[in-house]
Amino acid sequence: MGRLAQTDGLTEIQRDILATVRDFVDKEIIPVATELEHKDEYPTAIVEGMKQLGLFGLTIPEEYGGLGESLLTYALVVEEIARGWMSVSGIVNTHFIVAHMINAHGTQEQKDHFLPRMAAGEIRGAFSMSEPGLGSDVSAISTKGVKDGDFYVLNGQKMWLTNGGTSTLVAVLCKTDEGGSTPYKNMTTFLIEKEAGFGPNPKVPGLTVPGKIEKMGYKGVDTTELVLQDVRVPADRVLGGVPGRGFYQMMDGVEVGRVNVAARGCGVARRAFELGISYAQQRSTFGKKIAEHQAIQFKLAEMATKVEAAHQMMVMAARKKDGGERNDLEAGMAKYLASEYCKEVVEDAFRIHGGYGFSKEYEIERLYREAPMLLIGEGTAEIQKMIVGRRLLEEYRIAE
């Protein structure tokens, strides 16, 4: 293990967890990742291994059967997993966001009902906010929930659900129009239990997961739509028990998710650097290894600096959140920096590989197709810059 992306101040437990995950990634993920990715095959054996390691309950409190670890521990675990195969980190990411939302905002009954089974990996979560015409404008949400006695009736179409087919619990954001003074106070999060699979859901009449969306990269993990036609959800499955809080609950989840995406960018960039510096010491041109050419050394130096900078920014954002501080500034910076640097490091590693980087026999080809997803996941670079810019103006506002 090289000196890049080290984290100071970790406990012995955190170091043991990371060592276990790193060993799992090296032995169980990296050797099969490219083959599974090319087949677009769900990594069932890898997921079972993660369940046995307790990773689905990593941040769930011990009272509910989890490990009760911090966001920092989780982010560092995600970094290691993404280093092996980014799609696998996506399988745990949405699960973690939903578990975090239930733990932070759910009623006691909801916590008791969901969290123990989520910790064991028996229930796996998906997160549903986006819609086909929504983009980054959450206020334009059109999926609607209408109160009907002790139920809500949901109608609409959601988009870009990671784990939409394989999940058995979906947190769905809907417009409820129950008297809020702004659009953001008229949104509610519903917890919908369903069966895994595609097509009409036998457990939830009116709920359909049409099928997997074909993607350029980020394969293996299923990305889907979600169609709701007169889906009846009990009122006690409103997250927190009170309607109108959904936007703020979702934004809390997204804020945590941005740290996660930053961690994924760090992991993919680190793997690209490892592949690039290894290949540079094997490939010869003009009578010497290409690593001895100054142009390649400059490129490796730039790549390593970006890997290190992104990692430290991600760690800072996670520690802010763990400390109970507002971290939207740091999370936005971390997500923006890590995703942009990831793209650049992957491209440089691709260039180092030359023509072989274009071959599916080489791992860098897969990373080259995976990196672009990080540029848009959990908010584009432009959204992150808006968040950061507004927060900076708050912090540095001059007296009038």
Mean pLDDT of 277-286: 94
3-state per-residue secondary structure call for 143-205? CEEEEECCEEEEEEEEEEEECCCCCCEEEEEEECCCCCCCHHHCEEEEEEECCCCCEECCCCC
Whether the per-residue pLDDT at 178 is higher than 90: the answer is: no
pLDDT in the model for residue 256: 82
pLDDT, residue 325, reads 85
> Which pLDDT does position 275 carry in this prediction?
97
How many Cβ atoms are within 10 Å of 212's Cβ, its own excluded?
A: 17
Determine the average pLDDT of the residues in 90-118.
95
The residues near 98 (Cβ < 8 Å, ≥ 6 apart) are 118, 125, 126, 127, 169, 170, 171, 253
337: pLDDT strictly greater than 90: yes
CA dist., res. 239 & res. 250, Å (int): 10
Contact between 176 and 244 under an 8 Å Cβ cutoff? The reply is yes
Q: Name the burial class of residue 62, with classes exposed (0-12), middle (13-18) and buried (19+) by CB atoms within 10 angstroms of its CB.
A: exposed
Kind plus residue range of the DSSP H or E element containing 320:
helix 294-322
Strands (E), the chain: 125-128, 144-148, 151-162, 169-175, 187-193, 199-200, 207-209, 223-234, 284-285, 288-289
Whole-number pLDDT of residue 255 = 80
Q: Above 90 in pLDDT, residue 393?
A: yes
> Which whole-number Å values give the CA distances from 31 to 25, 27, 39, 46, 85, in the listed order?
9, 7, 14, 11, 10
List active site positions.
378
Query: Which pLDDT band, with edges at 50, 70 and 90, does 13 fall under?
Result: very high
In the structure, what pLDDT confidence band is assigned to residue 254 with cuts at 50, 70 and 90?
A: confident
* Beta-carbon-side half-sphere exposure of residue 72 (alpha carbons within 13 Å): 23
- The CA distance from 214 to 12, in Å, is 42
Helix (H, G, I), strand (E, B) or coil at 68: coil
Q: What is the pLDDT of residue 179?
A: 67
Angle (nearest 5°) at CA 31 between 29 and 36? 70
Total residues found in the chain within this entry = 400
The reported pTM is: 0.93
Taking 80 as the threshold, does the pLDDT of residue 378 lie above it? Answer: no
